[in-house]
Every structure is written in structure tokens, then in C-alpha cells.
Amino acid sequence: MQENSLSGRWVDTYSLIKKVKREIYSNLADNITEDEWSTALSNARNKSAPGVSSISYPLIKKAGKIAQKTFLILANQCLAEGDIPIK
């Protein structure tokens, strides 16, 4: 991921760490796969506080296949745009 592709509020947060080999950053902007989404969701704690969407992990986990695909598309869109909606 190139720093200049990030929106202003994320540049400092995602600046490269000079001690880390640059190769580790090469796949950060790749799309999230269905397997990665499923694994992350299964590892998410049910008692985690929901974000600004107010949608809890248990609710996301119970969503059907179409909803899961939609969530994955939205997550990948956030990666592609380099931004996460605030609300």
C-alpha cells in the first residue's frame, strides 16, 4: 500500500515502520478472501463492543450467505478506497 493512496487521517497510522522489511507490506491492500473473512469472524469475540454501525459480532455471524458476501464486498471497498466511513 502506498502512503499517498491513504486519506489524510490514516497516513500517520499506516506509515511504514522502518525496522520492518518492506516485503511484509506488499499484500496489505489485497482483497480479503472469503476464507479470511470467515476466519476473522469466527475469531471475533461475541462480547466485543460494536462500532459506529451498532452491529454486533453475534448479529454479523448469524447473517446469511448473501449478507456475508455483502459485508465482504463493503470491507474490500474500504480497502480499495483507503478509507473507512465514520458513520
Cell of residue 3, nine digits: 502512503
Cell of residue 62, nine digits: 448469524
- Sign of the Cα torsion 65, 78, 15, 86 reads negative
E strands, 3-82, in order: none
pLDDT, tens digit, 9 for 90 and up, residues 35-60 = 999 999 999 988 888 877 788 889 99
Domain edges within the chain: 1-29, 31-87
SS3 45: coil
Between CA 19 and CA 80 the distance in angstroms is 26
pLDDT of residue 16: 78
Contact of 13 with 1, CB cutoff 8 Å: no
Confidence of residue 68 (pLDDT cuts 50, 70, 90): very high
pTM > 0.85: no
pLDDT of residue 7: 64
